[in-house]
Amino acid sequence: MKCTQYLSVLLLLLLLPVLTWSQQKIMLHQNWEFQQKGASLFYPATVPGTVHQDLKHAGVIEELYFENNEKQYQWIEEKDWIYQTNFELDAASLAKDQQDLVFEGLDTYANIYLNDQLIGEANNMFRTWRIPVKQHLKLGENNLRIVFRSPLTENKARVENAPYTLPAGCETVPLKVSPYTRKAAYHFGWDWGPRVVSCGIWKAVYLETWDKARIKHFWGNTVALDQAKASINLSLELEKSPNYQGKLSIRIDDKKYELTTLQNEKPQSFLVEVLQPKLWWPHTHGEPNLQAFKLQLFAENQLLDEQTLRMGIRQIELIHEKDSVGTAFYFKVNGQAIFMKGANYIPQDLLIPNVKPAQYKRLIEQSVAANMNMLRVWGGGIYEQDLFYELCDEKGILVWQDFMFAGSMYPNDTSFLANVKAEIADNIKRLRHHPCIAVWCGNNEMDVAWHNWGWQKQYQYSPSDSSEIWQNYLQLFHTIIPEAIKTLDPMRAYTSTSPLSNWGTAENFNHASMHYWGVWHGREPFKNFNTNVGRFMVEYGFQSFPAMASLKKVMHDSSLHLNSIAMKNRQKSYIGNGLITKHIERNFRPANSFADFVELSQKTQALGMKIAIQAHRKTRPHCMGTLFWQLNDCWPGPSWSVIDYEGNPKLAYQTVKENFQPVIAVMDTSQQSFKIHLISDAIVSFQGKLVLKVKSSDKTVIEKSYPIYLPQHGQKVFSLKRLNKKLATLSRDNLEYQIQVFNQKKELIFKDQMQY
């Protein structure tokens, strides 16, 4: 090579950015120990983790979910706990402009000490805490100590000195602190899980060192879309070191932008175009394609930071408006109205760090396999881990995302509202880039509870009390949260509460979102699912027991009967076992053993789910969504789940899978004459064959075959006039029918059978 060529290559290399990263993340997950405050003994601790997990590993307590242990360990919530670790820091890390200690999740009240200096206080499980610590660090060994304070002692005076009692979810203890505590509501007990008020460093903790500037957030929105191109608004938020006054630039993929001005906390946006975009769809309607954008931040030619955004190019709308029936409530994705099929999701454990990545992956895959296209992250749990949303993005599952408020009313003091505002901002910023998120929802059942559950009488509120509490509600869910969304995520829809309509009257089923609990809390029969169908069914369901194998892992053999103390404690619903028994005997027969009862409970649940889902689907477009309660469990016990704590599908899971298929056939036996509803949610037309078999008690068998054609998202009703004349001659006692649907390849794609 000639000398001039060497010089050219050398000059080119000098002009290229120096790819030495300024930013360094030092994970602080090692060498932790913990103790009860006031005790002398320390035990090894796991981070991320919880005090309950650490006490078990230390041998102080036994398995939390075995028998009645959860009641024996209530003392843990009354104590304060100390966690500490030592970590080494070298001169290179200390030399950086900035050193930030980052806690992605502390549960909940905590004082944070670095080298014996109080550097911060946490008071919200749902927030990320970033603390500049440069002045507190030293070369060599550093000590980090966190003192967790009991939510009970923290809030005791607030509860006792409050001018009125606030409704407190499902808390049953005398001192109800959950409305004042920004912590997962279900930790204080619910009607499908025990009370386990834990604490700990429940998410990642690390020291982040950086020079000059860093990327805080990078996200994008689809602002315009057609077949030829998509216009994407890419936004970024940076943080600059006060010590740096030089120029910054960014590169998005191959395009460079100079940043002439930079203000911390003020986002900057850049419009890019994608030609022939591959759109993101729910998996039931297309491919969940993801588009990657790489952002690099430079000071002169030095690479300071980089992030890759994986976003879906898609547009989603919530249609919530008056129509000829009442008030519509449905979703459009990329301009197409989609019937939503799915479930309510709760955290997979009471001790959240117990849940491994493989469990997240399995549960989302089970949801996809069951033909679901939407999951609701319920407001009494947590804003889920990043992995949950990443999997939903990849697999094409839409997410109805509640904010974490459920079944309570909340205080309105300045510090509480400031805390909530920070929580809302943290989580919108963390999650807004995910294409899976379809809608933000303010809370679970607070509006409907205030107006229908008799709280005013129960808590003896004066007119001024009631007015103040309701104004607090309006301020939070009609002003603070929607204003935050308008600022931080304006392309996303918001609904203030779920449900918007109560199931108490027939007219209400014509309006918006609905939680229908006539079957269960109203003690109504399953047939009432057919006549109580709302515009978008966000909750409904029926309980069953987990498999015997799952129960045997947490119960002595001697406790495996309904009247044992442990089994009674395992049922957290006030009407649970009696109502299950009643429906078993109404729809099948009395159980002859506990194992038989468990199996019949699952059969009963499956029957109820089938009737409900079929009723919802056959009334499309009146109803445009069916999300049953609930997908999964947080501990091994009876509940409304279709997948138990161990990850085992119940019988109802298969029923859901079958009735969420794109094409189904529903026999309508509500009148004296029968008819069949054919329903398709498929994105293409369907052609095939319907086979109906009817068998009566006198062994008479009728079999009929019908060619069928359904357009895209089509429906058809077979009135069966000729067949009904023949059926009229048969005894209706023990009349059974079977429906089968075959596609053009003569493959059986759906079957159903029922006794009349």
CB 294 within 8 A of CB 403: no
| CB burial of residue 637 (10 Å; 0-12, 13-18, 19+) | buried
CB 651 within 8 A of CB 606: yes
CB 605 within 8 A of CB 652: yes
| Residue of 423, 445, 599, 658 with catalytic role | 445
> Any residues with CB less than 8 A from the CB of 55 and at least 6 apart, and which?
43, 61, 73, 76
Q: In terms of DSSP bridges, do strands 374-377 and 340-345 run parallel, antiparallel, or are they unpaired?
A: parallel
CA distance 141 to 95: 16
Q: Is the dihedral of CA 432, 98, 307, 254 positive or negative?
A: positive
Other CB atoms within 10 A of residue 356 CB: 11
Q: Is the dihedral of CA 56, 62, 67, 73 positive or negative?
A: negative
Q: Residue 668 — φ and ψ, nearest 5°?
A: -100, 110
| CB burial of residue 139 (10 Å; 0-12, 13-18, 19+) | exposed
CB 239 within 8 A of CB 132: no
CA distance 542 to 607: 10
> Any residues with CB less than 8 A from the CB of 89 and at least 6 apart, and which?
26, 137, 138, 139, 140, 142, 207
Q: Output the CA–CA distances (angstroms, integers) from residue 166 to 180, 408, 458, in the order listed.
A: 9, 7, 11
Helix pair angle (481-488, 414-431), 10° resolution? 30
Exposure of 530 in the CB half-sphere (CA atoms within 13 A): 11
CB 260 within 8 A of CB 216: no
CA distance 348 to 278: 33
Amino acid making up residue 458: Q
> Any residues with CB less than 8 A from the CB of 474 and at least 6 apart, and which?
none
> Any residues with CB less than 8 A from the CB of 392 and at least 6 apart, and which?
364, 375, 398, 399, 434, 436
> Any residues with CB less than 8 A from the CB of 4 and at least 6 apart, and which?
none
Known active-site residue 445: yes
> Any residues with CB less than 8 A from the CB of 21 and at least 6 apart, and which?
303, 304, 305
Read off the DSSP letter of residue 164: S
Best CA proximity match to 180, nearest among 196, 165, 195, 158 = 158
Best CA proximity match to 223, nearest among 212, 211, 235, 215 = 235
734: left (phi over 0), alpha (psi -120 to 50) or beta: left
CA distance 483 to 177: 28
CA distance 35 to 172: 29
> Catalytic positions, please?
445
